[in-house]
Structure formats: structure tokens, C-alpha cells
Amino acid sequence: MAAAAITLEQVKKNFGAVQALRGVSLEIPEKTVFGLIGPNGAGKTTLFSLLLGYLEPSEGSLRVLGVKPSELHTLRGQVAALPQDSDLPPTITITQALTYFGSLCGLSGAALNKDIDRVLELVDLKEWRRAKIRQLSHGMKKRVGIAQTLIGEPKLIILDEPTSGLDPKHAYHLIQLFKAITDKTTVLISSHNLAELEHLCDSAVILVRGGIVRSGSMNDIRRADVEVRVTLGQGKEPNLSVLSGALGDARLDYVADTRLLTLRFEENAGKSSDEQTTKALSAMIADGLTIRSVERGQSLLTTYLELAGGPMPTAAPVAAPAPMAKI
């Protein structure tokens, strides 16, 4: 089992009478991409602020790379963060900004210049290194912020909406980059772009009103092992009684307008989901049905709407993180 990069045990955070986090327990494995998902006011910014040492928990304990957040200064250069609304002084150049952040990691001289070249190449800004921050578009500023988190190859990177404002090309490129760096780095990412998180994250947690409503691998969250969604081609309508008899414990739901047939299997039924899915598809074909597409589990968006539905929670007051962090 992989070691934990981040551990929370029964963490609570109160702001007066408002409980922003309610007994959150969580382990984030090292060298993975982990998603933090939830509506506004769910406690995500509060959790980030606790992990970075900007806030103290009201109850419970946290460990980041094995130390308390209040001791992160002992991990110089090993933790980096990029809050959503971060900014840089408009009159400095990209190189000056990255030189400053690199110096915080303990880099200098040729080693620092080499690493600046590396991270600018990664975010496709090498030709802009002498440009001032005020000359950059919003998306380019965002990429500078991501570059600063990569300086020194930290063991943990915490990102809040890192692809917001990016064009599709650069957003896709950064998604691939985040996946690629997990040979050395743990990436904790929060985003409202659920389709992006679904393809990017190994595991995730969904927070609603300060509490965890579901956590685990992305397949676990999407219930990929217990639900199969089959879109039928045009033609014959399914005979649900025949299919139910062939599939035993599986529950069937059919929406005629969209020709969507959903199969829900019993968890821990003694059969693998692959075996159950194969049997189900074979029964459909034997019944003369044509199959247009098959999807394992729900989309992350559907799962999120089911778990986070209802009235939006009132956002708790939180201490805003520093513009950027390099520890």
C-alpha cells in the first residue's frame, strides 16, 4: 500500500457557530493525482488553508508529508501551492518571478536557471521569459503560476482551479503534465470542471457542507463496478422480464426516449463486474437488441449532482490563502 502524502484524522474547523469542516478523515496516497470536489461553501478552501498552515484546526490532526502544517518550514521546497485567484506583481518579468520562487526552494545560479528553463518548457512559455506579467493574458498568467509550483520538483503540489481560463490546448497539455509528474509528485487538485477531474484523478473525495459524502478511487466514486449504462441502437424494444430473468440479481431501468438501459448489480455479489457485464451484454444480443454504446458507472457529474443536490450551502467565512505559496 502506498504511503500517505496527506493524512487527516477527524478534522473539524469552526468559525464561531459555523462548522466549516465536520470530522473529516482522509488519506491521500503519495505519487497520485487526487481530486477535491464539492460545491462552493463545502469547505475546500478551508481544507487547503489548514493543509498549508494558514489556519489551525478546531479539533483533530493533520499531517503533510509526515509533519504538522505548522512545521512545513522544515520541508523547504517540497510543498507548492497555487490558489485560484493568485496574482503576481505586474512590473516584474516571468524570469524574475520564477527566480524568486526558485530561491525559496534553495536553488541558485546555474541550477536555478536550468530549472526555470525546464518549467517554462513544460508550460509552453519559454519564448516569453523576458515578458512582464502585465503583458500576459489571463491564461498565460495562470501558466506562470503553474510553472512556479513545478520549480524544484516538489513532493506535493496543491492546485485550486489550475486550468480555469486556459484555452483547450493548454488545458489538455497541463492535464497530461499533471499525470506525468506523479512518478515523483503528489498532486492535490480542486476544480469545478468535473469532466476534467474524471479523466485526470486516480482518486477523489466529494465534500458537501463540510463533510465527506463519498471517497475512493474514481471508479469507486462513479460506481463503475456496480452500474453499467447501455445505449441501445434503433429497432426492437428490450424485453425487461426476459433480461431480468437472465441477469438474476441485477436491477434494470429503461428510458425509452433515450433508449438508455441501466443495469445495477449487487455489490459483493460473488461475481466480478466484468463477468456480470459480459453476461448482461450477451443476454441483450441474444434478445435481438443492437448496442450503440456501453459506459461503466455514472459520469462524475451525475454522481456529484446526486450527492451534492438540494439547496446550496451557505459559504463559511475563511481566511484567504496567500497569493502563492512555496514552502
The arithmetic mean of pLDDT across residues 308-325, rounded, is: 50
Residue of 299 and 7 predicted with greater confidence = 7
Of 30-34, 49-53, 222-226, the least confident: 222-226
Q: Which residues contact 174 (CB under 8 A, 6 or more apart)?
A: 123, 143, 146, 162, 163, 166
DSSP 46: H
Strands 79-82 and 156-160: parallel
* pLDDT tens sequence across 71-99: 988 999 999 999 887 889 999 999 999 99
Which candidate, 227, 229, 162, 228, places its Cα nearest to that of 201?
162
233 vs 292: CA distance, rounded Å: 5
Which carries the bigger pLDDT value, residue 295 or residue 129? 129
pLDDT tens string 167-214: 999 999 999 999 999 999 999 999 999 999 999 999 999 999 999 999
- pTM for this structure? 0.83
Which runs of E-coded beta strand occur in 94-250? 156-160, 186-190, 203-208, 211-217, 227-232
The pLDDT value given to residue 311 = 42
pLDDT confidence tier of residue 268, bands split at 50, 70 and 90: low
Distance CA 14, CA 21 (A): 7
pLDDT over 90 percentage in the chain: 70
Q: H/E element holding 129? A: none
In the structure grid, which three cell numbers stand for residue 155, read together?
513532493
B/e letters for 207-231, b = 16+ CB within 10 Å, e = fewer, are bbbbebbbbeebeebbbbbbbbbbe
pLDDT in tens, 215-259: 999 988 988 778 888 999 998 899 888 888 877 777 888 999 999
User: What does the pLDDT read at residue 270?
Assistant: 54
